[in-house]
Structure 1
Amino acid sequence: ELDLFDIISFDAELGKTLQELRVLVERKRFLESTCGKDQLEVADLRFRGAPIEDLCLDFTLPGFPDYILKEGEQNTIVNIHNLEEYVSLVVDATVKSGIMKQVEAFRSGFSQVFDISSLQIFSPQELDYLICGRQEIWEAESLVDNIKFDHGFTAKSPAIINLLEIMSEFTPDQQHAFCQFVTGASRLPTGGLAALSPKLTIVRKHPSSGVSTLNTSGVTDAADDDLPSVMTCANYLKLPPYSTKEVMRKKLLYAILEGRGSFDLS
């Protein structure tokens, strides 16, 4: 059965916060068992240095103000005394009864293709890999074999060399964000980048200023004001020929991290 500690696997920020709140709940229990009715130490419990009330939490699901955790109590402010109930309700809504309809829909869909009992031969980790793919270790040497370069770029273009080095230095979160930006999905299919269809393609994006004079390295600072753009339906990354690797890293991270949820025409 899923519990609080599973949440961090798909929502790291919420999972970490709930675990910290759970520690406060356990600390409160301990103080009450040892200090009796003396509530001074309990009232002094803090979350990252602040009273629970200062978090301005109420009995709605974090990020979903219309999802009421406890009917009639949606405007009740969470404090140290009702924190345990709040954490329990958030966990229930996130990985237990709150997702029951969705889980049953998945079961029904799978059952139309094959007997759901067939999945029992797989561990949860194996199912996760089959359905969602596996986190890859990206290395510049292997990346070049699974990416197509076109329209002004080759595997030896300075901008491409910089890009592959940057990709190989991504953290897992940055890797997920890059995949989301380029393909529309935060995880690659089973088989990784090599299995992506259409193949990830990187092309040269001309500077918006209209000036495209290159230096001897094949790069230009005229592109340094532009951001990369994509066509997610074709796994197509349009990359300006930035003047340096650091400029490229800054612009790429800005696009993949700050542009989440945006849909614009380029």
Structure 2
Amino acid sequence: MKKIYSIAILMASLIFLWSCQEDEKIVMQQPDSFVLNVPKYASGIYDLQNMETIELSTSQPDYGFTGAPTYSVEVSLSSDFSDYVTLPTQSSLAKFNIQAADLALALVGMHGVTEESEYPAQPHPLYIRLSSVLNAKNDGLVKSNIVTLPQVKGYFALDPMVMPENMYLIGNVAGDWNWDNATEMIPIWGSEGKFWAMQYLGQTGDGDNAQIKFNVEKAWDGNEFGYGEATLNENSTAEAGTSDDGGNIGIGNPGWYIVVVTTTINGREFEYAVDFHPPHVYLQGGVARGNW
């Protein structure tokens, strides 16, 4: 019996010691810093307009265990990082690339210029560092050393123009000028920036003819457009009798219409065309006798 008791005590002690060792293995250490390596061509000129990527490499911070940290890239025009921008690129690899276009976009904002003529023409120093975290709660947050790129030549980069994904129709007969009640138009499959809606454009209860406007957001944000801000009836097959009604598109022939808005991009501007068609809808497909 004593032997059994002794063996039980020994096993319990071993389990306790093993548990302590396991606990020690997963205790996270908080490092003070970690190493961002100097890029291979750091002494050269980084001409962002004529390159695609910049390669960065690092060593994992000493957290006391091998983890999978996420690295973010921070850049600044001052060596003390009193003001900096975090680039969109993130990586869990020790060697990764940042996009030259992303850096160029960041530099436009950092220089605070709004016109191409104001952008610095000569290369200038840029300071770069990494931040590392272990999870979405920012556990283990630590910054790397700062690396100087002495000659970075940016350019007046602008965000690419992207076709709108939404379009809303508002008016005295469409939401009563309340964006919360505006008509959400339907995107046309395979035609980016093109939308349609079957909409009643009759008279109000007071006998006023319909007036409408459009916007890509449900807001009076200065981007709404009406008469004089869109091409009207270029491809219409119904005569809506449109006119300028205080900047709104007035409808002279009340009734139901299929309203189509087509978006095009011209330089840095969106251009819109609005057309009106009879309210005829046709169904095709597997539920329509298999007719495609």
Task: State the TM-score, normalizing by the size of structure 2.
Answer: 0.22
Q: Which has the higher strand share?
A: 2
Please identify the structure whose Cα radius of gyration is greater.
2
